Amino acid sequence: MNSWIISLSVAYLLGSIPFGYLLVRTFNHQDIRKTGSGNIGATNVIRSGAKGLGFATLLLDLGKAFCAVLIAKKLAPGNYDLAVATAVAAVVGHIYPVWLGFRGGKGVASALGVFLALTWPSALCILSVFIVVVVLTRFVSLASIIAAATLPFFAYFFVPERSAIVIAGFLLITALIIGKHHQNIRRLLAGTESRFGSRKAGN
Ligand code: NKO
């Protein structure tokens, strides 16, 4: 029981570190939430003109989530239910950080981080889907939504255990990511979503 409490709270806290917001505030003295899409994720940091900070945001958001799952695996080796619940806690921390009034990112980089630690072949498949959609459409948001939708299938295929908690965890991560992209979905349907590499801010 102790390992559950420790893993889930450490994962939430790690996940809730808003690296995109912190890096842009520290180095560019701007509030990333007030530019472009207003998101604190790597895409919007790059969109704001801070390429280096954007890549750092991607790596740090991915890394914090990866570490959260590694800690769970160390605390309770072989407990896959706990590892998946911890993955959910890390993504929830990123999307709903207490520090930013529970208004955080969209969970894309952190989902990739947790799946790299949970079942890396599934992460590579999800990443491939993401890359194909970005190359074809240049919509990062659409790539994130489609990658998130395929995530439970790849994860189900590659996981060593298929308990109810594991499956519910995968579906929850997908639902959280797609739900957080509701404004992007509206813009995609309206034809006003900004494409990666274009200067237009996607409000
Ligand atoms: O600002 O609303 P926006 O247009 O920024 O952002 C939409 C975007 C938000 O997500 C991010 C995260 C960083 C994406 C950088 C892509 C680098 C490669 C990572 C691939 C992840 C694929 C796995 C997806 C799992 C669901 O969507």
Q: Is the CB of 40 under 6 A from ligand 1?
A: no
For residue 152, give its domain range.
2-190
Residue of 92, 85, 91, 86 whose CA lies nearest to 69: 86
| pLDDT computed for residue 202 by the predictor | 43
**Which atom number of ligand 1 is nearest to the Cα of residue 134?**
16
Which residue of 122, 140, 194 sits with most ligand 1 atoms within 8 Å of its CB, as the best mutation to test the pocket?
140
Instruction: Report yes or no on 201 lying in a domain.
Output: no
| pLDDT computed for residue 109 by the predictor | 98
Q: Is the CB of 127 under 6 A from ligand 1?
A: yes
> How many whole angstroms from 147 Cα to the centroid of ligand 1?
10
Q: Is the CB of 141 under 6 A from ligand 1?
A: yes
Average of per-residue pLDDT across 1-6 = 90
Instruction: Report yes or no on 199 lying in a domain.
Output: no
pLDDT, one tens digit per residue, over 32-50 is 999 999 999 999 999 999 9
> How many whole angstroms from 200 Cα to the centroid of ligand 1?
17
| pLDDT computed for residue 199 by the predictor | 54
Q: Is the CB of 44 under 6 A from ligand 1?
A: yes
pLDDT, one tens digit per residue, over 91-134 is 999 999 999 999 999 999 999 999 999 999 999 999 999 999 99
Structure tokens at 159: 């996981």
Q: Is the CB of 7 under 6 A from ligand 1?
A: no
Which residues are CB-contacts of 69 (< 8 A; sequence separation ≥ 6)? 11, 83, 86, 87, 90, 113, 114, 117, 118
Q: Is the CB of 114 under 6 A from ligand 1?
A: no
**Is pLDDT at 1 greater than 70 in this prediction?**
no
Rounded to whole angstroms, the Cα distance separating 196 from 203 reads: 14
Which residue of 43, 132, 178 sits with most ligand 1 atoms within 8 Å of its CB, as the best mutation to test the pocket?
43
Instruction: Report yes or no on 197 lying in a domain.
Output: no
In which band, very low, low, confident or very high, does the pLDDT at 203 lie, cut at 50, 70 and 90?
very low
Find the range with the poorest average confidence among 54-63, 126-135, 152-161. 152-161
Instruction: Report yes or no on 73 lying in a domain.
Output: yes
Total count of domains within the chain? 1
Read off the pTM.
Answer: 0.95
**Reduced 3-state DSSP string for the chain:** CHHHHHHHHHHHHHHCCCHHHHHHHHHHCCCHHHCCCCCCCHHHHHHCCCHHHHHHHHHHHHHHHHHHHHHHHHHCCCCHHHHHHHHHHHHHHHHCCHHHCCCCCCCHHHHHHHHHHHCHHHHHHHHHHHHHHHHHHCCHHHHHHHHHHHHHHHHHHHCCCCCHHHHHHHHHHHHHHHHHCHHHHHHHHHCCCCCCCCCCCCC
> How many whole angstroms from 2 Cα to the centroid of ligand 1?
33
Instruction: Report yes or no on 158 lying in a domain.
Output: yes
Rounded to whole angstroms, the Cα distance separating 29 from 27 reads: 6
Instruction: Report yes or no on 180 lying in a domain.
Output: yes
